[in-house]
Each structure stands twice: as structure tokens, then as C-alpha cells.
Amino acid sequence: MKKLLLFTLAALMMLASVACTPAPATTTTEAEAPAETAAEAPVAEEPAAEPKLIGYYKDAADDYYKAGYEVFAALAQGEGWEIIDVVGQGTAPEQIAAIENFIVTGVDAIVCVQNSPQASAECIEKANAAGIPIFFATHNPPSDPLPTGFAGYDWVQTGKYAGESASRMV
């Protein structure tokens, strides 16, 4: 009796959550596209016959990361691809766990807004071992091991430019 009850409750709950999930391909809001769009466009243009499955991990629920994601999603869905969208709470264990889960799910590529370069080093190793290309967005990943690609700014250089231009104004 107890078993049946729990089973039913659990099943109902799961079906409810599945029903509540918006279909992966419906986010089409236009956001202020940062320069990342340009860098990510080449990645999106793969004239493959099968629709790709992309695992996208964002370190935190940040509007900046979300904006980048939505542009990527719009482009990817144009190609008929499916994206698994995972958001963390700003901790490294979550990033590592998310990437591990993507690998088991068998995604075709991973895009990651990282928590820290050390956590990412771990992720790159695992992705490479599984033969899955891994890209990083926004935050600079480590250079050893090397990721498949990166879309973002050289923040240190950008800071230098900003400092120089500010000093010229003074």
C-alpha cells in the first residue's frame, strides 16, 4: 500500500515537472548581444545531417550569461539543435558535476561559463577523454589543458585599454 502510494506520488510529480518544462526550442527572446555572438556564430554553422545536442552550463543565474545563452540558443534552434540548459549556484563542484552529467548523456559539444580555471581544467580533461569538444564563454579558461574554443574578451587587456583611455581623459 505504502509502496503503491509513493510510486504514484513520485510518478505524478515527475510527469508534472516534465509537462511544466517548456520545450527546449522555444527561447527566442532577443537580448543585447555582446560581442560573443560573432565568435560563437562560426561554431554554430555546422551543416550536419543529424540535429546536435549541446550541453550549456552557466556558473550562476546572471543576466549577462543569460543574454549570451539566449543568442546561442536562437542560433542553435535555427539549425534544429537541442540544448540542455543547466545553471549553477556559483560553486565549482556543481560545474564539475554538470560536465560529468553532460558526458554521460552523450552530448555532441559542451559550452561552459566557468566557475574557476582549476575546475575547468578538470572538465577539459574529462571532455577530452570522452572525445567531446568543450568551449568556454565569458571567463578565461586555462590554457593547459587546452579547450576546443573560447568566446569572450581578454579581460586583462580590456582593463589596460580602459585604464589608458581614462588616463588620457584626465
Partner 1 sequence: MIEAKRSVAKQNWFKRHENATPLTVLVCFTVVIVILQLIMSGERGKVEFPSFITPVNLLNILMQVSVPGIVAIGMSMVIIMGGIDLSVGMLASLVSIITALGISVWKLGVLPSILVGVASSVVLEMLVGFVISRTKVEPFIMTLGAMIAFQGIALLLCNSREVVMQGELDFLKANLIDGAIDPVNGLNLTIPPYVVIFLAIVIIIWAVMKFSRFGRRIYAIGCNPNAAYLAGVNVKNTKLLVYAVHGLLVGIGAVLLLARINVGIITNGQNMEIDAIAMAVIGGIAMSGGKGNIWGTLIGILLLGSISNAMNMLRLPSEVSFVAKGVIIMVAVSASYLSPSIKKLFSSARNT
C-alpha to C-alpha distance for 96 and 120, rounded to whole angstroms = 8
109, 122, 137, 138: which one binds partner 1 (CB under 8 A): 122
**Phi, psi torsion values for 91, nearest 5 degrees:** -120, 150
C-alpha to C-alpha distance for 83 and 52, rounded to whole angstroms = 8
Q: Which of 32, 43, 49 is nearest to 75 (CA)?
A: 43
Q: Looking up cell 589608458, which residue turns up? A: 164
Site string for partner 1, 60-89 (x = CB under 8 A): ----------------------x-xxxxxx
37, 77, 101, 148: which one binds partner 1 (CB under 8 A): 101
The helix or strand, by DSSP H or E, that contains position 32, with its residue range, turns out to be: none
Instruction: Pick between residue 44 and residue 82 the one whose CB is nearest to partner 1.
Output: 82
Nearest distance, CB of residue 90 and partner 1, angstroms: 6
Instruction: Pick between residue 3 and residue 168 the one whose CB is nearest to partner 1.
Output: 3
Ramachandran sector of residue 152 (left: φ over 0; alpha: ψ -120 to 50; beta: rest)? left
**Where do contacts with partner 1 occur on this chain (CB under 8 A)?**
1-3, 5-7, 9-11, 13-14, 17-18, 20-21, 24, 82, 84-93, 96-98, 100-106, 115-116, 118-119, 121-122, 129-130
